[in-house]
Structure 1
Amino acid sequence: MRTGAIVAGGRSTRFGDTDKSVAPLAGVPMVRRVANRLAGDDDPIPPGADRASGGDPVVDELVVNCRPDQRAAIATALDDARLPIRWSLDDETDQGPMAGIRNACRAARGEYAFVVACDMPFVDPAFVSHLFAEATGHDAAVPQLADRWYQTTQAVYNADAMGDACDRALARGDRKILDPLSELEYAVVGDDAIRERTTERTFANVNTREELDDTEAFIRSALSPT
């Protein structure tokens, strides 16, 4: 079994007062766009601005990590989603993304979990499959573009190993998302391998209203008849 874990518990202060996870993006809540991609649905536009084509789900279940006060709105956004959904609620809020990843891994039924932030609407299911393959026999598979940090919120983790490493990091008072990786044996999926299989857009995230507008304009342009 493969788990897809969507981390949505951050406060998103740069986005404003609205919960970013359920903000409409070209008419679809952002978290639903991410869920649909993992489910193989025709939404949203994949990297390269091609029309999405439906396919098989890349994971067998979804775990949604969020704060308790977010659950009702996110559940509405994910109503009738193609994949079964499990919930991972943050009992202690505002602990940072590492705690959200830990909680999601603890809720996963699969040995390996693909963790993705709720604000990454162009996640590429074919690349997710590649990450699962790369993670086999390791504690994780983590992408690294040449000019960026490790993409820890779009990576595959052995759920138990990552959960344990996050527990130890949090117990030490560490909050940086890279801290647990120092204890793991992980495969790095480098820039060349990334660009052979997908585009940089798969890692694009939406942090501000301006970025939401730009992303919506891209989606609507890609959907327009040529």
Structure 2
Amino acid sequence: MKADTGRAGIVLAGGPSTRFEDGDKALAALAGRPLLLHAVEAVSPVVDDVVVSCRRDQRRSFESALEGVDVSFATDPIDGLGPVGGLRTALRETDRLTAVVIGCDSPLVPPAFLGHLLDRLEGSTTAGVLVRTDGRTRRLPTAVNTRAAAAAASEALDDGGTLHDVVERLAPVVIPEHHVAAAVDTERLVTVDTRADLARVEETLGRRIASGSPGGSPSGADGVRSNGR
């Protein structure tokens, strides 16, 4: 049993997959298992509860994909509110103090790095943590104070804001690019938007398995550098 650390994991999976041909990308297979399952397995080791945010029409197929896995589902009550609406619904679903948020399209993110984001949040006076890679501040993964983020999501919905706007309202700490690179192989933070992206991730995973690199299995080694904590 995990210690009661007051942490939730939120997996955003309600998107329409407009750039992903032939089906819902959350259910697309990587190494024989759905991307959604990889994302849930990435976050589960460092939190107490996992909440999957999805649309009503996705829930049955997601329940099948995650059969036997301990998760709850936050179903958007109103269609069309996008990831901000999905995040707000998921945040309202948990009574945990903090949450780490990832997308279902992040199959290789190391659990220990997500734990690192939560540690940074809980060790600061801010209500949010973001990371910077490749010259830009990423909207995901992020760690947030759940109550503050739920309020920020409501404000962002009223203003037509984006997911990035939600976290910006929390006056977040942004982990600099060189600190991120010291903590984790940034190749592990890749997101899958298209079938071509999925093929590249499959190739990366195969290369890691063949070479015996840390994190060769999405649910195996954590892929976090020892000097990054």
Distance in 2 (alpha carbons) for counterparts of 1:181 and 1:36: 24
TM-score, with structure 2 as normaliser = 0.84
Aligned residue number for residue 140 of structure 2: 153
1:72-125 Cα offsets, whole Å, 9 max, x none, are 1111111122xx312111122222222222222111231111000000011111
SS of equivalent residue, structure 1 residue 114: strand
Per-residue deviation, 1:145: 2.0
Q: Which of 15, 19, 32 does residue 14 from structure 1 map onto?
A: 19
Corresponding residue for 1:175? 161
**For 2:10 and 2:126, how far apart are their aligned partners in 1?**
18
Match of 1:53 in 2: none
In the comparison of the two structures, how many residue pairs are matched?
205
Report if aligned partners of 1:63, 1:88 keep a CA contact under 8 Å in 2: yes
Q: Deviations over 1:46-91 (max 9, x none)?
A: xxxxxxxxxxx1111100000011111111111122xx31211112
* Counterpart among 59, 74, 77 of residue 88 in structure 1: 74
1:79 aligned partner: 67
1:130-209 to structure 2, matched below 5 A, reads 130-136=116-122, 137-145=125-133, 147-148=135-136, 150-172=137-159, 174-209=160-195
8 Å CA contact 1:29, 1:77 repeated in 2: yes
Alignment of 1:26-37 (within 5 A): 26-37=31-42
What code does the residue aligned with 1:140 have? G
Aligned residue identity for 1:78: L
**Cα distance in 1, alignment partners of residues 144 and 90 from structure 2:** 11
State the SS of the aligned residue for 2:46: coil
Of 4, 15, 23, which residue of structure 1 is paired with 2:28? 23
Question: Which residue number corresponds to residue 70 of structure 1?
Answer: 58
Name the SS of the counterpart of 2:81 in structure 1.
coil
CA distance in 2, matches of 1:190, 1:108: 29
Alignment counterpart, residue 128 of structure 1, candidates 103, 114, 120: 114
- Please tell me the residue identity of whatever aligns with 1:134: R
Which ranges of structure 2 fall in alignment gaps of 5 or more residues? 1-5, 213-229
Q: Distance in 2 between matches of 1:118 and 1:197?
A: 22
Partner of 2:206: 220
Cα distance in 1 between the residues matched to 2:102 and 2:61: 19
**Secondary structure at the residue paired with 2:182?**
helix
How far 1:225 sits from its partner (Å)? 6.9
Answer yes or no: is the 8 Å Cα contact 1:7–1:115 preserved in 2.
Answer: yes
Aligned partner letter, 2:153: C
- What residue number does 1:113 align with? 99
TM-score between the two structures when normalised by the length of structure 1: 0.85
C-alpha displacement of 1:155 = 0.5
- Alpha-carbon separation, structure 2, partners of 1:22 and 1:193: 33
